[in-house]
Amino acid sequence: MKKLAVVLSRAEFGVAAPQVRVEVHISRGLPSLSIVGMPETAVKESKDRVRAAIMNSGFEFPPHRITINLSPADIPKGGGRYDLPIALGVLAASEQISPDRLERTEFVGELALGGQLRGIRGILPVVSAVSQANRRLVVPGRNAAEAALVQSCECLAADSLHQVCEWLCGDRELPSAHERQDRSSKPGAQKPIGDLSEVKGQEQAKRALIIAAAGGHNLLFYGPPGTGKTMLASRLPGILPTLTETQSLETAKVASISSAGFDPSNWGIPPYRSPHHTASAAALVGGGSQPMPGEISLAQNGVLFLDELPEFSRHVLEVLREPLESGKIVISRAARSAEFPARFQLLASLNPCPCGYLGDEDRPCQCSLGQIQHYRTKISGPLLDRIDLQVEVPRVPHKVLRNTKTSGLTSQQARSLVMKARTQQLKRNGGLTNAQLQGRQIEDLIPLSAVLLDFLEQVVERLRLSARAYHRIIKVARTIADLKQSDEVCQSHLSEAVAYRGFDREDYC
């Protein structure tokens, strides 16, 4: 007796899902089951789950020598996602089910001892990869809502091993994941967010927030405690444009492989991450023996808000410099490395000094010059240089606070302005925001007259700006022009962009 069956599945490797061939070989010999192909502990334990699930589903577990190979062998295999393909391979090799439908179908799912299928983590990268391979996929019913987000994949949902076996034998049909999708988890259900008009005063800060949202620029608020910096930051998600289909899938794939998983109701909504200042570098950029995404990757196509910026470790902040430029993070380990997307919009806030009242007209600062210098050196010049807008948020007069009426634009009105500006720049820039333009793209897509170049040269010399700051001023000016639906950048746009470089001006150096 010598029989072989092959079942296709997918591994978890960052945001990728490489294909795994589950090869099951049954031969004569003493009853045994061995798994080879770099399986981790959870996979090795699957033999006990598979044996119980097969027997409790009404099938016979072959009393022979069974060898299971997970190919390719150089990819680590972890978790319970291989339970279903292993069980199907055993049943197909022992001729208890028909192998006809196994050829162009892939399977993932963890088995309970009773044969029920349990959901797995990271289903979206699997569905996306299977769709590109032009195959069909069978997933646990609990993953149906998430799997249905990828419209291009033929995805079927099952609740048990017995249902899958009946489908393979042609005795029943499995519902598609779209049919099983829970209506309560319908994507795009926006969660309630505070309105921008609830922020009293701070018109310049609101203006900067709209500019940042329109062009995807990094933004820093600084000022005394209690002036509304955090409140302003919390309003940014309410004025950001909805993600495109491609962006939504990129964001959802990262969330899908995280420990928290992905909530289908967040589909199309830009993520907003706000880690505590005690977060480690690994928590921020990702890490672990099995590389997992950090906060910057979970903020893909969204916002990373760092409140009280100087309270973060300097080492933690410095790891942001590279992904802010490249839009990705590579986590390397001795055995392998994983690449995660990290194209996020940085939003931060800080006080001007440890006590928070430096420059405040109503309350004197209690800090020494050494304390202030030590406080500010926690944020390096190269990191500040990568922040396009540095805006002061001063104390609001009590007369303004007493006004019970809302002031300024509502979030809906601000979002309308942002959407118009974003549409204009995406069309002009070939799908890129102004903040994403680099090098020659800036010169080609944002032409400036000789008069404006002379003005900008004087600004650069006076403020001693870097080449990076020079280009960021141009990109911010282009966003300001987009908000005014102007085809050309004018001097007023450049002047306003320069005014937002608060830490580059002499009075704040």
Burial class (CB in 10 A: 0-12, 13-18, 19+), 212: buried
Residue 413: other Cβ atoms inside 10 A: 14
**488 and 396 in a common domain:** yes
Rounded CA-CA distance 500/302 in Å is 22
- Residue 232, in any domain of the structure: yes
Q: Taking each helix axis as running N to C, give the angle between helix 411-428 and helix 203-215, from 0 to 180 degrees, rounded to the nearest 10.
A: 40
**310 and 168 in a common domain:** no
The pLDDT value given to residue 506: 46
CA distances from 40 to 5, 78, 397 (A): 22, 5, 62
Domain boundary among 181, 208, 242: 181
Which stretches within 169-280 are classed as H helix? 177-180, 203-215, 229-234, 245-256
**116 and 55 in a common domain:** yes
- Residue 308, in any domain of the structure: yes
- Residue 350, in any domain of the structure: yes
Rounded CA-CA distance 306/435 in Å is 19
Tokens of 165: 């076996």
- pTM of structure: 0.88
Give the distance, in angstroms, between the CA of residue 506 and the centroid of all CA atoms in the same chain.
Answer: 37
What is the Cα Rg of the chain in Å?
A: 28
Rounded CA-CA distance 437/320 in Å is 19
The pLDDT value given to residue 508: 40
| Greatest extent of the chain over all pairs of C-alpha atoms, in Å | 90
The parent domain of residue 427 ranges over: 196-508
**459 and 383 in a common domain:** yes
Number of domains composing the chain = 2
**297 and 426 in a common domain:** yes
The pLDDT value given to residue 404: 66
- Residue 191, in any domain of the structure: no
Residue at token pair 């509304």: 228
Q: Which segments in the chain show pLDDT lower than 70?
A: 1-2, 181-192, 334-335, 404-407, 505-509
The pLDDT value given to residue 403: 73
**278 and 135 in a common domain:** no
The DSSP bridge partners found for residue 3 are 26
Question: In the 3-class helix/strand/coil scheme, how is 330-383 assigned residue by residue?
Answer: EEECCCCEEEEECCCEEEEEECCCCCCCCCCCCCCCCCCHHHHHHHHCCCCHHH
Length of the chain: 509
Pairing mode, strands 272-273 and 337-341? unpaired
Tokens of 249: 């899938």
Rounded CA-CA distance 412/239 in Å is 7
The pLDDT value given to residue 232: 94
**468 and 364 in a common domain:** yes
Give the distance, in angstroms, between the CA of residue 120 and the centroid of all CA atoms in the same chain.
Answer: 19
**200 and 172 in a common domain:** no
Q: Which has the closest alpha carbon to 423: 411, 434, 409? A: 434
- Residue 352, in any domain of the structure: yes
Pairing mode, strands 272-273 and 219-222? unpaired
Q: Which has the closest alpha carbon to 429: 420, 417, 442? A: 442
CATH number at residue 423: 3.40.50.300
